[in-house]
Amino acid sequence: NPSMNFTVRREADRAAIQDTHIHHLRHQIETRLKVSLGDDLPSSLTDGVVLCHIANHVSPRAVSSIHVPSPAVPKLSSTKCRRNVDNFLGACRKIGVREDLVCSVSDVMEPKRTNTVRVAITVTELLRHHVPRNNNSAV
């Protein structure tokens, strides 16, 4: 059945494109923030901390306060995660990411593959606004 082969091939192509987006997202975050994310990339983004740091990498103080885990409380409450994600999305809009390219809160907080692709697209767009600063200039 040729149409069946077409569908299978289309799904394989879609999966390959998703892999590319997700791999690119990991690479961008790890190289720019000089961090190593765990094997489960979507889950490592759900608390919004890394995303807030990326926003601040693009535009210093874009997110003025970030809730971060501590040794005493290694996992943030869902309210604090939500606040981080809201702050990240607000920073994306403020920095100039087009509204139709800004992912949703659930895209970040529900780590499914298709959601992570949307997060990757948002981060890619956000990074287009990054202007490297000259290290010699006074801040």
> Is residue 57 over pLDDT 90?
yes
The model carries a pTM of 0.87
Instruction: Write down the pLDDT at residue 136.
Output: 45
Give the chain's mean pLDDT: 91
Give the CA distances from residue 135 to residues 59, 131, 138, 139, in Å, rounded to whole numbers and listed in that order: 15, 12, 8, 9
Look up residue 8 and give its amino acid: V
Other beta carbons within 10 angstroms of residue 109's beta carbon come to 18
Mean local confidence (pLDDT), 82-109: 97
- 38 Cβ contact list (under 8 Å, min separation 6): 44
